[in-house]
Amino acid sequence: MRIKVIGSGSMWNEHNSASYMIDDNTLVDIPNGTCKNLFRMGINPKIIDSILITHFHGDHFFDIPFYFLLKTKADNKNINIYCSKDGKRKNHNAIKLAFPNSVKDINNDVNLKYCYNEDFSLNGYRVTKYLVDHGRMKPAYGYVFESNNKKVGFTGDTSLCENVEVMASICDYLFCDCMFIKGTDQHMGIDNIKMLIDKYPHCQYVVSHLEDNTRQVLKEENISNIIVPNDGDVIEV
- Interaction site with Zn ion (CB under 5 A): 57, 59, 157
Pick the closer one to Zn ion by CB: 85 or 136.
136
DSSP state of 180: B
Least distance (Å) between residue 11 CB and Zn ion: 7
User: To the nearest whole angstrom, how small is the minimum distance from the Cβ of residue 179 to Zn ion?
Assistant: 8
> Closest separation between CB of residue 86 and Zn ion, Å?
15
Our CB check for Zn ion shows the closer of 9 and 151 to be: 9
From 50, 52, 4, select the one nearest 25 (Cα to Cα): 50
203, 170 in Cβ contact below 8 A? no
Antiparallel, parallel or unpaired: β 226-227 and 204-208: parallel
Shortest Å, Cβ 84 to Zn ion = 13
Contact 67, 34 (CB under 8 A): yes
CA distance 129 to 145: 9
CB-nearer residue toward Zn ion: 64 or 106: 64
Toward Zn ion, which CB reaches closer, 1 or 193?
Answer: 193
Minimum CB distance to Zn ion smaller for 55 or for 71: 55
DSSP H or E segment with residue 89: helix 87-98
What gap in Å lies between CA 138 and CA 112, rounded to an integer?
Answer: 24
For the bound state, the minimum distance from the C-beta of residue 153 to Zn ion, rounded and expressed in Å, comes to: 17
Task: Provide the β-strand partners of residue 51.
Answer: 27, 81
